[in-house]
Chains A and B, each alone.
Chain A
């Protein structure tokens, strides 16, 4: 079992379906079980791809609509 934080609240989740999860990882949790790691790098790349797409559409440089990239 692991302690996870959901919207500022501490809860317990089972890692039996995600044995490789380590402290500090972001995980998808379904019904009390962690089921997948959330890949920060992939999230960033998805956003980057989208802002490039939008910039290209609007004829502006890629950083014109760049996301804030917050925490």
Chain B
């Protein structure tokens, strides 16, 4: 059976009506509205559906640090690639990470040199690989936000209970609300509103954004992923701004509850604890990442395989860091579509299927000023 009412959330009549309503509401805005979306899936949906070109000129959509692969620092990528060289090691990763270049090399090149790097769709697959290869270390590259972290936590619990002592996780997970707070206080960005991620919010709940709205006075709307969802969410944000309100609203109420998924949160926090984390583009943000708790130390790749990546640095010429914070748009980068394309990516924003540069390259290049 199809997902209920999904066609209605893609209805052209509904989209036309919402666009007309949005143009009407935005006409009353005093100053242009800068809305940051903080979810790679939103970035892709906005580009794919041509939303950027259809909405009023005085609403600017800025892509934030919502792509898991993109926000992973080169230091973490380099460290994971170094671990792959451990004798007999099997590296497991989500597919997006394979082609992201590190400082010296990427995972794809490491595989070309003979390293055993395997793409998995789910942590369940990584566990299966560990079961089949009990004598070899199987290391999973844990990147992503609160949507993915509980699935990694569940796999670590499973590995412990099964006695899969050869299963390790290199943990580079990040938390969304601390990043939003950091972005809120970055004066040069002047973000007026946040379009908050749908799936992260399904886990953390709408209340997790309360500090962003209450403390920083920035309106937040949690949005679904269909065109109708995104346009309605923008309309809700315009209405908040017009009436001088900063609150957290949930447009994606069919998937997100005020308290999120408490079972998943509890499981995540039983395995991980919050820690400082280094974000590409944003630098170090206190308490914005997850680290593996002491009781799971035996499965922590960072503890088991010590590597030196003091030589790690960001790619030269690539402005991915500025793209991720919304300071620049992809066409501002001298490499965009010239030295850097999805076939030959220089930085992660062009590699990932959720990356801002990839979204612009695929869907918006005809309107980009090249």
Residues of A participating in the B interface, judged by any CB pair closer than 8 Å? 5, 12, 14, 16-20, 26, 28, 30-33, 35-36, 38-40, 42-47, 50-51, 53-54, 57-58, 65, 67-71
Bound CA span A61–B123, Å: 50
Chain A proximity mask over B4-23: 1 for CB below 8 Å, otherwise 0: 11011101011001101100
Say if the beta carbon of B324 comes within 8 Å of chain A: no
- The residue in chain B whose Cβ has the minimal distance to the Cβ of A51 is B14
B17 partner residues in chain A, CB cutoff 8 A: 54, 57-58, 65
**B24 to nearest A CB, angstroms?**
7
Bound CA span A67–B122, Å: 36
Contact call A17/B261, Cβ cutoff below 8 A: yes
* Given the contacts A38-B254, A54-B21, A57-B24, A31 and B121 also touching, CB distance less than 8 Å: yes
Contact call A35/B154, Cβ cutoff below 8 A: no
Contact call A28/B255, Cβ cutoff below 8 A: yes
Q: Which of A35, A38, A40 is in CB contact (< 8 Å) with B203? A: A35
Contact call A38/B3, Cβ cutoff below 8 A: yes
Say if the beta carbon of B47 comes within 8 Å of chain A: no
Say if the beta carbon of B291 comes within 8 Å of chain A: no
Contact call B254/A46, Cβ cutoff below 8 A: yes
Contact call B123/A47, Cβ cutoff below 8 A: no
**B255 to nearest A CB, angstroms?**
5
Contact call B4/A33, Cβ cutoff below 8 A: no
- The residue in chain A whose Cβ has the minimal distance to the Cβ of B154 is A16
Contact call A45/B253, Cβ cutoff below 8 A: yes
A-B contact count (CB 8 A): 119
Given contacts A54-B18, A70-B8, 9 further A-B contacts (CB under 8 A): A5-B1, A18-B264, A35-B203, A35-B264, A36-B256, A43-B4, A46-B254, A47-B9, A58-B20
Contact call B20/A67, Cβ cutoff below 8 A: no
Q: Which of A14, A19, A30, A45 is in CB contact (< 8 Å) with B147? A: A30
Say if the beta carbon of B296 comes within 8 Å of chain A: no
Contact call B5/A17, Cβ cutoff below 8 A: no
Number of interface residues of B (CB under 8 A): 42
B13 partner residues in chain A, CB cutoff 8 A: 65
Contact call B202/A36, Cβ cutoff below 8 A: yes
**A47 to nearest B CB, angstroms?**
5
Max count, chain A CB within 10 A of own CB: residue among B8, B14, B202: B8
Contact call B124/A42, Cβ cutoff below 8 A: no
Contact call A33/B202, Cβ cutoff below 8 A: no
A47 partner residues in chain B, CB cutoff 8 A: 5, 8-9
Contact call A39/B253, Cβ cutoff below 8 A: yes
Contact call B4/A32, Cβ cutoff below 8 A: no
Within 8 A of A (CB), among B89-148: 94, 121-125, 147-148
Contact call B3/A26, Cβ cutoff below 8 A: yes
**B21 to nearest A CB, angstroms?**
5
Say if the beta carbon of B365 comes within 8 Å of chain A: no
Contact call B14/A50, Cβ cutoff below 8 A: yes
Contact call B255/A70, Cβ cutoff below 8 A: no
Say if the beta carbon of B267 comes within 8 Å of chain A: yes
Bound CA span A17–B146, Å: 12
Q: Which of B4, B14, B122, B202 is in CB contact (< 8 Å) with A40? A: B4
B21 partner residues in chain A, CB cutoff 8 A: 53-54, 57
- The residue in chain A whose Cβ has the minimal distance to the Cβ of B158 is A16
* Given the contacts A70-B8, A71-B1, A50 and B228 also touching, CB distance less than 8 Å: yes
Say if the beta carbon of B199 comes within 8 Å of chain A: yes
Contact call B11/A67, Cβ cutoff below 8 A: yes
Q: Sample 26 A-B pairs with CB under 8 A, ordered by A number.
A: A5-B1, A14-B154, A17-B267, A18-B261, A26-B3, A28-B199, A31-B121, A31-B148, A32-B121, A32-B122, A35-B199, A35-B264, A36-B261, A38-B255, A42-B253, A43-B4, A46-B254, A47-B5, A53-B21, A54-B17, A54-B21, A65-B13, A67-B5, A67-B8, A68-B7, A69-B5
Contact call B123/A32, Cβ cutoff below 8 A: yes
